[in-house]
Chain A
Amino acid sequence: MASVVEIHRVSKTFGTFAALGPVDLEIRAGEIFALLGPNGAGKTTLISIVAGLLRATTGTVRVLGKDVVRDYRDTRRAIGLVPQEINFDPFFSVEEALRFQAGYFGVRLAEERLLELLTALDLLDKRHTGSRALSGGMKRRLLIGKALVHEPKVLFLDEPTAGVDVELRRSLWSYVRTLRDRGTTIVLTTHYLEEAEELADRIGVIDRGRLLVVEEKEALLRRHGAKLLRLVLSGPVAALPPELVRLGARLDEGGGAIVVEATGDATFGAVLAAAAAAGLPPKDVETRRTTLEDVFVQLLAEGHAPAGAGAAARAAAGGPGAGGRP
């Protein structure tokens, strides 16, 4: 798949503080890429450099093959940015804000396109309302409208659903998918791991200005994740049959439960069969798959830990591998 954004050895220093990098990253055409990281990790710094809000200290960024500094007019036409902080101009209405933003991009906003945007963002009845009178959620939707008004090839969403209620968040997710289906490449930063898990095709985890991992979401979950099976027994047992031990099972809850952890594509059919054959039919069966949140916390912990401390980091992350209760 072709790259629409190519980030090469990009770093940013504020005074003596190294906020970012150097970072290498490519964003593929038509994907939803989620950039995850804690506060101050460098997410906003990175996308601000791509969008032209900040200048990189070192390195180059190309959007659709054009340099963001030398060919800034071309690259900015290709980019839409929804900033993290809500902003609005109290002097103007929703329609005026959208028309001005379109004009800055050299686009005359057709009535049809205006109505399409207002409808998609549920702002149709607020068309003539002053920006100051909008609720927080409406102001955020207006920001999204302003970022989309020139039909960008790449849309950057910096914490798009921060402070947005669940219903609106779901509707925004749905709209983001619609945009992706129409061919828009989407890069989002988020604190809501559920959001990345729900939307992203690929995920990058960034911390302290370093990109820890970039991977397909499913592969990331498979590679770093684990599955856990817990068989709750009718009564406690003193020891496990050898067949179950061979399959990696261990006793938990004072012998009242059998726990097995597996990674990758392993299945638990053999464990269930061995338990039944050993006369240990479960009273209840619980399964759990690692969530993106577990992987994220684990990666961050590994990122901070010295080399070879992966197991300790895994335990610190409290994921299934730590033996914790699912």
Chain B
Amino acid sequence: MISLGLRTLLSKEVRRFLRVPGQTLLSPLVTTTLYFVVFGYSLGARLREIEGIPYAKFIVPGLVTLGVVTNSYLNSASSLFVMKLQGTVVDLLVSPLSYGEILAGFLGAAALRGLLVGSIMWLVAGAFGGFTLAHPLLAVALLALVAVAFAALGLMTAIWASSFEQVNFFPTFFITPLTFLGGVFYSISMLPPALRRLTLLNPVFYMVDGVRFGLLGISDASPWAGPTLVAGLAAIAVGSAYAMLRSGYRLRG
């Protein structure tokens, strides 16, 4: 049974990002379309197929994962950080909402935005190159775990950050590089051995690879590596965010 307090926080957080759909939902749509046009068609003409899959289709799982990761992170990070800046975080801190409810409210809304953006991207990609869903349940479950993990990371960043620069630190220096180097646009079998070994240390590679198995039925690593790793990372991220909220760190003096 979801409490009225949690339902209210979830509803408020969802309405917040729906109030600015151009920024939260449509902007990723434009970016994705550009990726497909620039990478899918220009590179696709040269690469043709990877592991029997047309290149324009091969890049879809990686781009969907990128959309889910970025938007889940940004939603919880920007929402809580702006609440801190505006002072409206007081509304939550004086309320009887439990730490678990506050966590669930932020992560639920952020994950929903991430999955909505991911779905929009998948639909756009499908319109370009046709729809394929090899293991739909696995794909959805994995993307949901990815969304929750990065929403929790965003929430922790918002609690810690004291400037927008700090909020943007993780996406700029970790999330985007790790995602782009995590096999979104190529199979690691195309890489030289040294780079391939380096890629295997990148956790985002397993997420992209797992989603690729879910959507297209092909993968570089074991299909279970992604779900296992992401489940572990999500549990650690959620547990850490809960501990951070409970400790009162940078929220309750």
Do A105 and B96 touch (CB < 8 A)?
A: yes
What separation, in Å, do the CA atoms of A167 and B173 have in the docked complex?
Answer: 54
- A56's nearest neighbour on chain B, judged by CB, is B253
By size class, the interface of chain A is 35 or more
- B85's nearest neighbour on chain A, judged by CB, is A87
Do A103 and B96 touch (CB < 8 A)?
A: no
Please report which residues of chain A, range 48-81, place their CB below 8 angstroms from some CB of chain B when the two chains form the complex.
48, 51-55, 72-74, 76-77, 79, 81
Do A79 and B5 touch (CB < 8 A)?
A: no
Please report which residues of chain B, range 90-113, place their CB below 8 angstroms from some CB of chain A when the two chains form the complex.
90-98
- A146's nearest neighbour on chain B, judged by CB, is B91
- For residue A89, CB closer than 8 A to chain B, the reply is yes
8 CB-based A-B contacts, threshold 8 Å:
A54-B252, A54-B253, A77-B96, A83-B90, A91-B19, A104-B5, A104-B91, A106-B4
Q: Inside 8 A of B11's CB, which chain A residues have their CB?
A: 100, 103
Please report which residues of chain B, range 59-90, place their CB below 8 angstroms from some CB of chain A when the two chains form the complex.
83, 86-88, 90
Known: A55-B252, A104-B5, A104-B8. A73 touches B96 (CB 8 A): yes
Do A79 and B86 touch (CB < 8 A)?
A: no
Q: Inside 8 A of A79's CB, which chain B residues have their CB?
A: 94
Nearest Cβ in chain A — how far from B138, in angstroms? 36
Do A51 and B96 touch (CB < 8 A)?
A: no
Nearest Cβ in chain B — how far from A210, in angstroms? 19
Do A108 and B4 touch (CB < 8 A)?
A: yes
Nearest Cβ in chain B — how far from A311, in angstroms? 40
- For residue A85, CB closer than 8 A to chain B, the reply is yes
- For residue B248, CB closer than 8 A to chain A, the reply is yes
A14 touches which of B4, B5, B91, B253 (Cβ 8 Å): B253
Nearest Cβ in chain A — how far from B171, in angstroms? 22
A104 touches which of B20, B83, B95 (Cβ 8 Å): B95
Chain B interface residue count, Cβ-Cβ cutoff 8 angstroms = 28
Q: Inside 8 A of A85's CB, which chain B residues have their CB?
A: 87
Q: Inside 8 A of B94's CB, which chain A residues have their CB?
A: 51-53, 76, 79, 81
- For residue B196, CB closer than 8 A to chain A, the reply is no
Do A89 and B86 touch (CB < 8 A)?
A: yes
- For residue B12, CB closer than 8 A to chain A, the reply is yes
Residues of A within 8 A of B (CB): 12, 14, 48, 51-55, 72-74, 76-77, 79, 81, 83, 85-92, 96, 99-108, 146
- For residue B15, CB closer than 8 A to chain A, the reply is yes
What separation, in Å, do the CA atoms of A55 and B88 have in the docked complex?
Answer: 19
Q: Inside 8 A of A146's CB, which chain B residues have their CB?
A: 91
Please report which residues of chain B, range 6-28, place their CB below 8 angstroms from some CB of chain A when the two chains form the complex.
7-9, 11-12, 15-16, 19-20
Q: Inside 8 A of B86's CB, which chain A residues have their CB?
A: 87-90
What separation, in Å, do the CA atoms of A74 and B252 have in the docked complex?
Answer: 18
Contact digits for B146-159, partner A, Cβ 8 Å, 1 yes 0 no: 00000000000000
- B10's nearest neighbour on chain A, judged by CB, is A103
Do A53 and B5 touch (CB < 8 A)?
A: no
Known: A53-B90, A55-B248, A91-B15. A106 touches B253 (CB 8 A): no
Do A83 and B98 touch (CB < 8 A)?
A: no
- B20's nearest neighbour on chain A, judged by CB, is A91
Do A53 and B91 touch (CB < 8 A)?
A: no
**Extra contacts besides A53-B253, A104-B91, A108-B4 (13): CB < 8 Å:** A51-B94, A85-B87, A87-B87, A87-B91, A89-B86, A91-B16, A91-B19, A99-B8, A102-B8, A103-B9, A103-B11, A105-B5, A106-B96
Do A52 and B93 touch (CB < 8 A)?
A: yes
- A14's nearest neighbour on chain B, judged by CB, is B253
A100 touches which of B8, B19, B20, B248 (Cβ 8 Å): B8
Contact digits for B98-130, partner A, Cβ 8 Å, 1 yes 0 no: 100000000000000000000000000000000
Known: A88-B86, A88-B88. A106 touches B12 (CB 8 A): no
- A131's nearest neighbour on chain B, judged by CB, is B88
Nearest Cβ in chain A — how far from B60, in angstroms? 33
- A90's nearest neighbour on chain B, judged by CB, is B86
What separation, in Å, do the CA atoms of A102 and B97 have in the docked complex?
Answer: 11
Q: Inside 8 A of A101's CB, which chain B residues have their CB?
A: 91, 95
Q: Inside 8 A of A54's CB, which chain B residues have their CB?
A: 252-253
Known: A54-B253, A76-B96, A88-B88. A103 touches B4 (CB 8 A): yes
- A49's nearest neighbour on chain B, judged by CB, is B253
- A53's nearest neighbour on chain B, judged by CB, is B93
- B9's nearest neighbour on chain A, judged by CB, is A104
